[in-house]
């Protein structure tokens, strides 16, 4: 019987076979080499072996020689790093560096198709859906106001404005939204950046779009240009006059935009007066001489905006003259006697019409129309919402009417009639306002005691506002009247 060694003896191979196998190891030695002792240690065989070096590292490619952890782990292996490798950090730095370049590339890309609005856009997009997407990508420009100058110089602003009249309303809406974002008050743009893009828009006559008119009118210089150099003023004049069965939101918004323009610029007021705007406003308001608009409706806002417009224009001497010629004082008289919502607003208009150096004619007309009785009757009813305007009217009458005229004599007679009851009320009001103002003055004095000179200068405007809220102006008028 053959032994185990004979069975596993290396067989002989022909010499023509080139591949040679390694000699087989003795199975007994292999078995003994793998046998474990009771303690778990391996029993070494007699053959010399190469001991593996202890290596706790995970298998993988070698780290670069200059690798260095930013913040190493602690002794217990907890992770304190930022979670961002150097490669990631470099990538983020690269993105920040070239972010503006990407926005600039977008501008140039769009300009190549928008430089010829008449046919370039049609050539640019085979479908309007793609054009819609491309327009929306301009939203990112509001985050990079430093590119506004380049955007304007390339003519992109004007081309974008041209889309406002696109036959596809979705594209027009997109253009309006983008324009609104670019000039939004929250955009952190410098003065020259904001002016660059706005001036470009103005030259393209986009001002017929009321959705962004309010943002533009926030700058007095721009408000002047809107009223003088564009057709917006005549258009607004026509729009608020258009007859409608029910006041629409567009009509109300047009009246609001007109009020904003008139409040911001004397030049705009004069131009509106030259368009016979005073007569138009009086005709529109005559509807409400006895009838009040529906509460909390577009018509009520429209009604208030018309009064705001009229109040602005009668501040100008030319507006006062037009107001008298169009029988505005007579209309106000009817509203004071029969109106409800129109009463305080009509009184405010009269206060502005009679004030200023050019208010003499209005004061004389006020007396001739018999409004002294109406005004002093309202004064004795002690309605605080009307008192301020009534005192302003009395002050204008006594200051502007000549001493030897019947108008001044009739005004003074109203103060002394019925045992000086009007004068008594004036003195009572003076005491009330003086008491309120003294409390505010005490608070201000305490605040001043703990402030430096720089702090005093910084808070002077705030203190004046608090004094006015407490009735400083009204108190001064009462002293003047008494």
Q: What is the pLDDT of residues 242-293, one digit of tens each?
A: 988 888 888 888 899 899 889 988 999 999 999 999 999 999 999 998 888 9
* pLDDT value for 133: 80
Residue 303 pLDDT exceeds 80: yes
Full-model pTM = 0.56
In a domain, 195, yes or no: yes
* pLDDT value for 279: 96
In a domain, 39, yes or no: no
410: its two tokens: 């009739």
Question: What's the domain count of the chain?
Answer: 1
Among 133-137, 209-213, 270-274, 379-383, the least confident range: 209-213
Residue 206 pLDDT exceeds 50: no
Task: Answer with the residue of higher pLDDT: 272 or 479.
Answer: 272
Q: What is the 3-state secondary structure (H, E, C) of the chain?
A: CCCHHHHCCCCCCCCCCCCCCCCCCCHHHHHHHHCECCCCCECCCCCCCCCCCCCCCCCCCCCCCCCCCCCCCCCCCCCCCCCCCHHHHHHHHHHHHHHHHHHHHHHHHHHHHHCCCCCHHHHHCCCHHHHHHHHHHHHHHHHCHHHHHHHHHCCHHHHHHHHHHCCCHHHHHHHHHHHHHHCCCCCCCCHHHHHHHHHHHHHCCHHHCHHHHHHHCCCHHHHHHHHHHCCHHHHHHHHHHCCCCCCCHHHHHHHHHHHHHHHHCHHHHHHHHHCCHHHHHHHHHHHHCCCCCCCCCHHHHHHHHHHHHHHHHCCCHHHHHHHHHCCHHHHHHHHHHHCCCHHHHHHHHHHHHHCCHHHHHHHHHHHHCCHHHHHHHHHHCCCHHHHHHHHHHHHHHHHHCCCCCHHHHHHHHHHHHHHHHHHHHHHHHHHHHHHHHHHHHHHHHHHHCCCCHHHHHHHHHHHHHHHHHCCHHHHHHHHHHC
Domain housing 111: 95-208
What does the pLDDT average to over 459-476?
A: 67
In a domain, 221, yes or no: no
In a domain, 395, yes or no: no
* pLDDT value for 262: 92
In a domain, 188, yes or no: yes
What does the pLDDT average to over 62-70?
A: 53
Query: Quick one: what percent of the chain has pLDDT higher than 90?
Result: 23
Quote the mean pLDDT of the chain.
75
In a domain, 333, yes or no: no
* pLDDT value for 286: 93
What does the pLDDT average to over 347-363?
A: 93
* pLDDT value for 441: 76
In a domain, 136, yes or no: yes
Residue 226 pLDDT exceeds 90: no
Which pLDDT band holds residue 197 (cuts at 50, 70, 90)? confident
* pLDDT value for 359: 92
Task: Answer with the residue of higher pLDDT: 117 or 244.
Answer: 244
373-387 pLDDT tens trace: 999 999 888 777 788
What does the pLDDT average to over 88-112?
A: 58
* pLDDT value for 61: 55
Mean pLDDT is highest, among 98-107, 215-224, 389-398, 445-454, for: 389-398
* Contact present, 346 and 332 (Cβ < 8 Å): yes
In a domain, 408, yes or no: no
* pLDDT value for 265: 85
Mean pLDDT is highest, among 216-225, 317-326, 470-479, for: 317-326
Among 168-172, 189-193, 219-223, 328-332, the least confident range: 219-223
Among 161-170, 327-336, 352-361, 364-373, the least confident range: 161-170
């Amino acid at each position: 019987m053959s032994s185990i060694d004979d069975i596993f003896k290396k067989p002989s191979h022909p010499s023509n076979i080139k591949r040679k196998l390694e000699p087989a190891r003795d199975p007994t030695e292999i078995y003994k080499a793998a046998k474990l002792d009771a303690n778990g240690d391996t029993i070494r065989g007699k053959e010399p072996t190469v001991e593996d070096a202890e290596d706790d590292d995970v298998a993988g490619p070698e780290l670069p020689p200059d690798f260095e952890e930013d913040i190493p782990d602690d002794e217990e292996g907890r992770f304190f790093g930022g979670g961002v490798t150097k490669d990631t950090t470099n990538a983020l730095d690269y993105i920040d560096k070239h972010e503006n370049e990407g926005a600039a590339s977008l501008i140039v890309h769009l300009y190549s198709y928008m430089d010829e609005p008449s046919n370039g856009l049609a050539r640019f997009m085979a479908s309007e859906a793609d054009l819609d997407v491309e327009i929306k990508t301009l939203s990112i420009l509001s985050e990079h106001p430093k590119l506004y100058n380049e955007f304007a110089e390339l003519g992109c602003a004007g081309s974008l404005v041209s889309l406002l009249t696109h036959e596809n309303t979705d594209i027009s809406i997109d253009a309006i939204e983008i324009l609104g974002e670019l000039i939004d008050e929250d955009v952190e743009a410098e003065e020259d950046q904001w002016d660059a893009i706005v001036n470009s828009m103005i030259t393209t006559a986009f001002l017929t779009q009321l959705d962004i008119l309010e943002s533009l009118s926030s700058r007095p210089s721009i408000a002047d240009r809107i009223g003088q150099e564009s057709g917006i003023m005549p258009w607004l004049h026509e729009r608020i006059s258009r007859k409608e069965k029910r006041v629409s939101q567009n009509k109300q918004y047009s009246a609001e935009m007109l009020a904003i323009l008139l409040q911001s610029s004397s030049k705009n007021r004069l131009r509106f007066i030259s368009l016979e705007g005073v007569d138009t406003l009086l005709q529109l308001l005559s509807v409400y001489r006895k009838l009040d608009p529906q509460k909390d409706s577009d018509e009520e806002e429209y009604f208030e905006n018309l009064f705001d417009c009229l109040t602005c224009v009668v501040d100008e001497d030319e507006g006062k003259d037009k107001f008298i010629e169009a029988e505005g004082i007579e209309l106000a008289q009817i509203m004071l006697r029969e109106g409800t919502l129109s009463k305080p607003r009509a009184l405010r208009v009269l206060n502005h019409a009679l004030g200023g150096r050019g208010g003499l004619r209005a004061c004389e007309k006020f007396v001739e129309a018999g409004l002294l009785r109406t005004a002093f009757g309202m004064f004795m009813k002690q309605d605080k919402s009307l008192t301020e305007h009534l005192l302003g009217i009395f002050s204008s009458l006594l200051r502007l009417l000549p001493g030897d005229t019947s108008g001044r004599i009739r005004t003074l007679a109203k103060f002394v009639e019925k045992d000086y009851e009007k004068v008594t009320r004036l003195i009572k009001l003076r005491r009330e306002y003086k008491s309120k103002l003294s409390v505010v003055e005490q608070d201000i004095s305490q605040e001043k005691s703990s402030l430096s000179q720089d702090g005093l200068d910084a808070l002077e405007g705030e203190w004046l506002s608090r004094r006015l809220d407490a009735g400083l102006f009204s108190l001064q008028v009462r002293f003047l009247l008494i």
